[in-house]
Chain A
Amino acid sequence: MLSVIVFLPLAAAVALVAVPRLGDTPARWAWVAVSAVDLALVAVLWVRYDTPPAGGLDSSQQVPWIPGVNSSYHVGVDGLSLPLVAMTAVIFLACAVYALRERHRPRGQAALFLFLQSVSLGVFVAADLILFFVFFDLSIVGMFFVIAGWGHGNQAHSALKFFLYTFLGSLALLAGFIGLYVAADPHTFDMPQLVAATPLAGRPLAGGLVLAAILLGLAVKTPTVPFHTWLPPAHTDAPAVGSAVLAGVLLKMGTYGFVRIGMPMLPQAWRAWAWVIITVGVVSVIYGALVALAQSNLKRMVAYTSVNHMGYIVLAVGVAGLAANDTAQARTVAVSGAVTQMVSHGLITAALFLLAGVLRERAGTYDVHEYGGLAAAAPAFATLFAVGAFASLGLPAFSGFIAEFQIFTGSIAAAPATAVALLGILITAALFLRALQRVFTGEIRGKSVGFADLRAGERWSIGPLLLLSLLIGVLPRPLLDVIEPAAQTVIGLLGR
């Protein structure tokens, strides 16, 4: 079941490339159809999901791959991965619908995105470090071609910067994995076994170095300050669907790695370095928000708010490492908030990037000064953008509120100093309101003149993303019921 979900898009991608002389329209619709089927399968997976016992995985499957180094094809889901799997399937379907009007090599684009969908799902279900790395690395290759092949502006340079940066990060990650493997007895790359064994438990120096390598790899991908510099150019020059996938799905691979690999496998080192992680998180929150405030390029602004939003997650997972038994409850809330934030940010930012793509497609620029009074010219666009902006700044009734509320409740209870990060919310609110005011209010002027409103494909791709965010904001229980047991498990593992 899980393997079908992961490899169905890949099989479709191969078929798309292999079938000669397939027309553009069938290719576009094949992409939509495959993504829809995959999402349906994920829905079935969710319905049949049973919370596994602590440390266990649901729907797991294990086949030996390289027995010589104890690496296997081992997949499974739990409360940390299932929400991300579902979010990934949703975002890719939204991108498929959005791209129905793509004119530039649509067949190649469909194949490439289906490939990306496979590897993204693969990262989230992998229960073996090498398998995780395989998918992690391939996602970089796929995104490189998305930016280089379908981007605009200085895309070759941005794509290269993205590739080199994240590839460096992935190799640091691999070095950390090998460190874990060598330290474990018996040597293994299997995640549940490593979690149970906690290699390097009694060796603070080696544990710290291995954790540093893993954190470096994940921090580049997340990205956190000071490893975020690849992100703004990559987003600015990527196509809209590429940005949506990059921000919505690929960034989560970094934060997912924190809760899946860093915290449970190296609990002692994680606790020792908790304050460093918290600091990086807080700095990312404030810095990301401030730089976003300074942008006049709308897409760049959304990109920097991603740094800010990822900062909340880093903050929460850092707080989780503050050892004190009386705060276990609070820290569980923080971790649960972090996972909720991953899902929430994925949905909202993907929607915002798709909306930014509409701006460029219609008027050729992201500059907020070029627009004015767009609400009158394109009411549907304005509505969705306003909804997205409010969701992003954490307005109650949206998923972002649920996530950030949990993060701050947990963090401030465990470490009051982290209240500084609340400033981030304030600045984000200011910058979104300012952007809304510049672009949408006032008289119709500049590029707003003759701006066509959203088409059906655009509404049906962006709308559901925001609707889901609203749904999670109003009815968070189904999601939290899945996440909370897993968050408890992580906190329990961290306490060892």
Chain B
Amino acid sequence: MENDEKYKLKKVLIICSKGTLEDVYAALVMGNGAVMEGIETKMFFTFFGLDAITKKYMNKLHTSTVGNPSMRMPGGLAFPTMLGGLPGVEAGVTSMMKKEMEKLDMPPVDEFLELIEAGGGEIFACKLAADMFKLKKEDFHETVKDIITVGDLYALCDGPGTQIIFT
């Protein structure tokens, strides 16, 4: 039996498990984009991704300058890994990235989460990871709706036309 019927995407669950600037923004851009398309959106932050919703760290995310072969100097020259490990280099590169993002009107992490929430998107923290990092509800940004288990997470994914995206 063939079924050619196309199901419109109705709901997405975006899981963010990493805390580098680019990983977090990838998740936030996709989340915000989904909200703006009228897609029901849930975001789940786990492990180092929790940095993105932790008040203390959320607006201080860095991009990694070591172990990143796509990291290049302005102009396209290779960026030596040894250089990436020097003090201040990561901060400098991160600040350059942030400036470029600002030019494109990409909001800071807290503002991005607020925009997602304003459009009806829901933001969750992973219970296991929160326990591991000793984080409580009050450590998280006010847009975080709840701290939930993996079982709760799957319960959010019911219904046809739902997709899970892991970043």
Partners in one complex: no
